[in-house]
Amino acid sequence: MSGTVTMHSVFVYGSLMADDVVRLLLKRVPHTASAILPDFHRFSIKGRVYPTILPAEADKVSGKVLFGITDDELYILDEFEDIEYTRENVQVLLTDSSEKLQTKTYVWANKDDPDLYGTWDFEEWKQLHMEGFLKMTKEFAEQMNLPESET
């Protein structure tokens, strides 16, 4: 075994922009930087409190990049995002430096989903839904950490 550890960067644009959500999932808050994902739109989803993104020319999504994500942490994020999202490689612009960065993000798998509408708002989500979302995230994290003998 070579002992090398692959580190990933992940562009987040919804509930994972909240440090408290990330801390519950990863047991830490990684280094972050504000970023813009060009040519995508952030949608609200009927019946859900979290958003999704899909390609959309001449639009952009603001969010942030989580740096130094390990393979194990990427697995946790994959499980958290579930099968409704696909992990894709995208290029973002870091807000502070305008540097282009190849990173991963989660894109809605069903590009023709009739439940997508409008534009999701992070500040509104924090006021209306964050408290309940943190409870759900804590339960998810506890289920992810079940000892092997109990799974």
Residue 81 annotated among the catalytic residues of the structure: yes
Under 8 Å between Cβ of 101 and 35: yes
DSSP string, 24-43: HHHSS---EEEEEEEEEEEE
- The amino acid that residue 14 corresponds to is G
Q: What's the CA gap between 125 and 131, in Å, rounded?
A: 10
Catalytically annotated residue among 57, 79, 81, 142 = 81
Catalytic positions are 81
